[in-house]
Structure 1
Amino acid sequence: MAIVILHRAALASSPYHEWLKDSQEPIFLIASQEKLNAFSESLDTLPKQAYHSVCAVERYDTNGEVELAVLDIAKNHTIRAIVAQAEFDVERAARLRAYLNVPGQDEYSARCFRNKVTMKDVLQRAGLLVAPFTEVQNVHNLLDFTEQNGFPIIVKPQNGAGSYGVALLSDQDELGNFITQGFTPALDVVPNLMVEQFVEGLTYHIDGIVVQGKSYAIVPSCYHTESLDFQNNEGEATASYTLAKDNPLTVRLQQFVQSVLDALPTPETTTFHAEVFHTPDDHLVLCEIASRTGGARIGDALEVALSCNLNELWARQECGLETDALLHQLKVNESKRPITGWALISPKPGMVKHVPSECDLPEVEDYILNILPGCTLQAPKAATDSIASFVFIADDEQHACHIIDKGRAWFNQHSDIEGLEEHGVG
């Protein structure tokens, strides 16, 4: 038996050699070369005795070499598990499992959690509230939708993530500009867009894990900064904080997301990340849900709150390793979890002269700097693009909001980034 890991993230955030160190089976790691480059990492730093083999694939997202590598492993080993914890690996891993008869999330489940049209079709039939939506195959779909539902609308990829490629259109002029910019695909390409009605209200994310069909640690959080604002909010990128256990919305959000998990073909074991709108008239409306851990620093903030890494628990369970101790730890700490949160610092176009390498704010548990002096920054393209980030513990929800604002102000006060126009770049 063997374990195959598809890895599309930083190596430092996923130490599989530590998480699976008691496994007696060979472990094969297939990583994205682009992600290694982005985080200045190398496979050479991994302990050689921990893995049977490691390889990095260029153009990882579209390169069939990933599939060929897994099929090559299967020639000599029976694969017990294919571990794939990144959003863009969910469907790829499901297809490989189906082809090789490996247990785990199947293709239909993967599609329901990745394709937002399929997802909302299933949930709507189950009687759960979602915003009006439709698939976009041509201009007529957009015109008909706005005529029926009005503005604002959201146009986005059916299987996107991180608010990448999402457009908020507020009126007919913005819709006209969007259409004339050329979203219509070539005749031989299948469209991959959808449109849905914009939902007023605050956005919450709810995160947790399912182990052998049972949900654990369903933790609701409130976005302090909306992800769609990342291009227009003076660099104040996405941030959030967990809700207090006695917040009236906490139980409602937990129950709502559990009903979503029950309605979908949820895998026996998976983490999950849901986003839910709370409307001014007090309704909960699902935005979307993913069968993986939330991005940005969500997982890190949850680990501080629960003293348990959900991805470690997920990986161990998928690989057939003992998880009783982690589950006990999770249940004990969930009942007494503190309020935690995180914030990203968004890049602003400019030349970096100085940025703080350490953070001395007492509430901050972990601070990460992603840039160095001398580099040139461009405007963010996704809500999760960041040059720095921090995770914190707060006394209450109001204190959490204060820490987010305080941390961002501290970073700006201790940084020197000259605008590109000052260097003659336009």
Structure 2
Amino acid sequence: MNPPTFLCISCEFKGVDFLKACKALGNKVYLVTAKSTEDKPWPRESIAEIFYMDEVRHGVWNMEHFVAGLAYLMRSNKVHKIVALDDFDVEEAAELREHFRLPGMGQTTARHFRDKLAMRLKASEAGLRVPEFTALFNDEEINEFTRRVKPPYMVKPRLEAAARGIRKVQTAEELWQVLNELGEKRHNYLAEQFRPGDIY
């Protein structure tokens, strides 16, 4: 019986320890990564083959090309698992799993790990404590949030990783200034009450 084959994807130079451990456990490992990481010290001894792809923009793959490339690879190499090595690749890995009917998280579940709005809604439904928050779709809901919740507020991009793109605002008026600056892109953000505390 052939060893299980893992297709790992990463738009960043990450996951070296995972790649090594995966190979050490007897698995066959393929890596799809951004062309910009070509000169990085990937553990090539642990990887059967590396495929470099151009990104549409950082962290965004052309999924039509990705699916076509994986379909071609799978003609002669069965892939058993798809693993995202970076936050930005969670949704793409989910899309590939669904397209090729592979086990693991699908797109709906993956959204709970990537989309900060979906994450907060799911946590609230489960009874977990989260800061007061609001989607930024509807003006009246935003006004109701600012009447009910004391500032300061954090405006966060829904799909960024780490602390990228987060802005702290001190008043409802300042929140509206930021939302007006965001314009047609504001639906890609959420607002939540700033809660001071330790970061782990």
Q: By the TM > 0.5 criterion, same fold?
A: yes
- In structure 2, the CA distance between the partners of 1:194 and 1:179, relative to structure 1 (3 Å rule), is closer
Cross-structure match for 1:81: 81
Which residues in structure 2 correspond to 1:227-238 (within 5 Å)?
none
1:53 corresponds to which of 46, 49, 52: 49
Cross-structure match for 1:63: 62
Which residues in structure 2 correspond to 1:219-258 (within 5 Å)?
none
Which residues in structure 2 correspond to 1:15-54 (within 5 Å)?
15=17, 18-22=20-24, 26-34=28-36, 36=37, 41-42=39-40, 47=44, 50-54=46-50
Partner Cα separation in structure 1 for residue 18 and residue 113 of structure 2: 24
- In structure 2, the CA distance between the partners of 1:149 and 1:18, relative to structure 1 (3 Å rule), is closer
C-alpha distance after superposition, 1:139-198 (max 9, x if no partner): 5543332122131111111222121111111024533432342x1217xxx921111111
The 3-state SS of whatever aligns with 1:3 is strand
In 2, are the aligned partners of 1:138 and 1:184 still within 8 Å (CA)?
Answer: no
Aligned amino acid, residue 47 of structure 2: Y
Percent identity, please: 22
Task: Report the CA distance between 1:101 and its aligned residue.
Answer: 1.8
Cross-structure match for 1:194: 190
The 3-state SS of whatever aligns with 2:96 is helix
Cross-structure match for 1:121: 121
Aligned amino acid, residue 152 of structure 2: P
Aligned length: 193
In 2, are the aligned partners of 1:4 and 1:70 still within 8 Å (CA)?
Answer: no
C-alpha distance after superposition, 1:184-236 (max 9, x if no partner): 217xxx9211111111x32233xxxxxxxxxxxxxxxxxxxxxxxxxxxxxxx
Partner Cα separation in structure 2 for residue 71 and residue 28 of structure 1: 14
Cross-structure match for 2:183: 184
Q: Given the two structures, how large is their TM-score scaled by the length of structure 1?
A: 0.41
Partner Cα separation in structure 2 for residue 16 and residue 121 of structure 1: 31
Matched, 1:161 2:161: yes
Aligned amino acid, residue 174 of structure 2: E
Matched, 1:8 2:11: yes
Tell me, which stretches of 5 or more residues in structure 2 are unaligned?
A: none
- In structure 2, the CA distance between the partners of 1:194 and 1:29, relative to structure 1 (3 Å rule), is same
C-alpha distance after superposition, 1:95-128 (max 9, x if no partner): 2112212122232321112222222222212222
- In structure 2, the CA distance between the partners of 1:139 and 1:110, relative to structure 1 (3 Å rule), is same
Tell me, which stretches of 5 or more residues in structure 1 are unaligned?
A: 206-426
Cross-structure match for 1:204: 199
Which residues in structure 2 correspond to 1:115-154 (within 5 Å)?
115-137=115-137, 139-154=139-154
Which residues in structure 2 correspond to 1:314-329 (within 5 Å)?
none
In 1, are the aligned partners of 2:9 and 2:32 still within 8 Å (CA)?
Answer: yes
**Superposition RMSD on alpha carbons, in Å?**
2.7
- The structure richer in strand per residue is 1
- In structure 2, the CA distance between the partners of 1:153 and 1:74, relative to structure 1 (3 Å rule), is same
In 2, are the aligned partners of 1:139 and 1:179 still within 8 Å (CA)?
Answer: no
- The structure richer in helix per residue is 2
